[in-house]
A and B are shown apart, each in its own frame.
Chain A
Amino acid sequence: MDYIVTHKGTTRRGFLKTGGALVVSFALPGCAVRPVGTAAPLPVAGGFWPASVDPASLDSWIRIAADGSVTASVGKIEAGMGIGTAFAQIVAEELDVPLERVTIVMGDTARTVDQRGTGSSNGITDGGSALRRAGAEGRGALVALAAEHLKVASEALRTRDGVVFVADDPSRRITYGELVGGRNFDVKVSERPKTKDPREYRFVGKPLQRFDIPPKVAGAYIYVADLRVPGMLHGRVIRPPEAGAKLLSVDASARLPGLVQVVRRGDFLGVVCEREEQAIDAARRLPVEWSRPAPMFWAGYDDLYRHLRATKPKASKEEGVKGDVDAAIAQAARVVEARYEYPFQSHASMGPACAIADVRDGGAVVWFGGQKPYPARLALAELLQLPGEKVRVVWMPGPGSYGMNDADDCAADAAVLAQAVGRPVRLQYMRSDGTGWDPKGPPIAFRMRAGVNATGGVFAWDYEARGFSGRTRNNGTEVAGDTLAGQLIGGHQAKITHWPQWPSESYNFPNVRKASHTIDWDRSLPTALRTAHLRDPDGMATCFASESFIDEVALATGSDPVEFRLRYLSDPRDIAVVRAAAEKAGWEKRAGPRPRDAGRYATGRGIAYAPRNQATVAIVAEVEVDRETGRYRVTRFTCAHDCGFVVNPSNLRGTIEANLIQGMSRAMHEAVRFDPTRVLSVDWLTYPIVDITEVPDAIEIVILNNRVEARSRGAGEPATRPVAAAIANALFDATGVRLRRVPLAPEGLLAAMRVQESGRV
Chain B
Amino acid sequence: MRGRAMAEPIEMTVNGRRERLRVEEGTPLLYVLRNDLGLTGPKFGCGLAQCGACTVHLDGTAVRSCAMPVKSAQGAVITTLEGLAKRSGALHFVQQAFIDEQAAQCGYCINGWIMTAAALLDDNPNATDAEIRRALSGLKCRCGTHMSILRAVKLAGERMAVARKA
Contact = CB atoms under 8 A, between A and B. Distances in A.
Interface of A: 12-13, 15-17, 29-30, 32, 79-82, 209-210, 212-214, 216-223, 225-226, 228, 257-258, 275-277, 280, 348-352, 397-402, 428, 430-431, 650-651, 654-655, 657-665, 683-685, 689-693, 695-696, 699
Contacts of B145: 654, 657-658, 661
Nearest to A691: B137
A394 B138 CA distance: 34
A17 B38 contact: yes
B147 A222 contact: no
B80 interface: yes
B53 interface: yes
A200 B20 CA distance: 58
B141 interface: yes
Interface stretch (B100-108, B119-127, B158-166): B100-108
Contacts of A651: 102
A217 B99 contact: yes
B13 interface: no
A17 B38 CA distance: 8
Contact of A351 (B37, B45, B136, B148): B45
B41 interface: yes
Contact of A214 (B39, B99, B105): B99
A728 B145 CA distance: 22
A213 B107 contact: yes
Given A219-B111, A226-B40, A654 B102 contact: yes
B107 A219 contact: no
A693 B106 contact: no
B110 interface: yes
Nearest to A14: B38
Contacts of A352: 44
A662 B142 contact: yes
Nearest to A32: B89
B143 A662 contact: yes
Contacts of B53: 350-351
Contact of A683 (B43, B46, B99): B46
B142 to A, nearest CB: 4
A275 B35 contact: yes
A225 B111 CA distance: 14
Nearest to B105: A80
B140 A654 contact: no
A398 B50 CA distance: 20
A398 B106 contact: yes
Contact of A693 (B89, B96, B114, B137): B137
Interface in B58-111: 80-82, 85, 89, 91, 95-96, 98-99, 102-111
B57 to A, nearest CB: 13
A351 B147 CA distance: 21
A226 B41 CA distance: 9
B44 A351 contact: yes
A277 B91 CA distance: 32
B7 interface: no
Contacts of B98: 213, 217
B76 to A, nearest CB: 19
B105 A277 contact: no
- Residue from A213, A219, A225, A662 with most neighbouring chain B CB atoms (10 Å): A219
A431 B111 contact: no
A351 B144 contact: no
Given A210-B102, A693-B137, 13 more contacts: A13-B39, A213-B104, A213-B107, A217-B81, A217-B104, A218-B82, A225-B40, A349-B142, A402-B142, A654-B104, A683-B48, A685-B50, A692-B133
Nearest to B151: A657
B147 A13 contact: no
Contacts of A696: 147
B12 interface: no
A654 B50 CA distance: 25
Contact of B144 (A17, A210, A662, A683): A662
Given A219-B81, A431-B47, A660-B144, A692 B149 contact: yes
23 contacts: A13-B38, A15-B38, A16-B38, A80-B143, A210-B102, A216-B110, A275-B31, A276-B35, A349-B142, A350-B140, A351-B43, A399-B106, A400-B106, A657-B147, A658-B105, A662-B142, A684-B140, A689-B142, A690-B146, A692-B133, A692-B150, A693-B137, A695-B146
A222 B108 contact: no
Contact of B81 (A218, A399, A401): A218
B18 interface: no
Nearest to A215: B107
A125 B13 CA distance: 49
Contacts of A663: 144
B144 A350 contact: no
A399 B45 contact: yes
A226 B31 CA distance: 12
A428 B105 CA distance: 21
Which 3 A-B pairs give the minimum distances between C-beta atoms? A219-B41, A661-B144, A80-B106
B93 to A, nearest CB: 11
Nearest to B134: A693
Contacts of B85: 218
Give the most central of A214, A222, A399: most B CB within 10 Å. Answer: A399
Given A225-B44, A692-B149, A400 B24 contact: no
B150 A684 contact: no
A210 B140 CA distance: 22
A692 B137 contact: yes
B144 A277 contact: no
B104 A80 contact: yes
A32 B84 CA distance: 13
Given A351-B45, A400-B106, A657-B144, A684 B24 contact: no
Nearest to A650: B102
A222 B108 CA distance: 10
Nearest to B81: A219
Contacts of A401: 106
| Most chain B CB within a 10 A radius of its CB, from A216, A351, A655, A693 | A216
B87 to A, nearest CB: 13
A217 B98 CA distance: 7
Contact of A277 (B27, B102, B109): B27
Nearest to A216: B107
Given A13-B37, A218-B81, A684-B51, A692 B142 contact: no
Given A80-B104, A350-B106, A398-B106, A684 B46 contact: yes
A397 B38 CA distance: 18
A443 to B, nearest CB: 21
Nearest to B129: A697
A321 B89 CA distance: 64
Contact of A431 (B41, B48, B91): B48
A289 B135 CA distance: 44
A654 B82 contact: no
Contact of B102 (A213, A430, A665): A213
Nearest to A349: B142
Contacts of B2: 257
Nearest to A226: B40
A275 B89 CA distance: 33
Contacts of A79: 106
Nearest to A27: B99
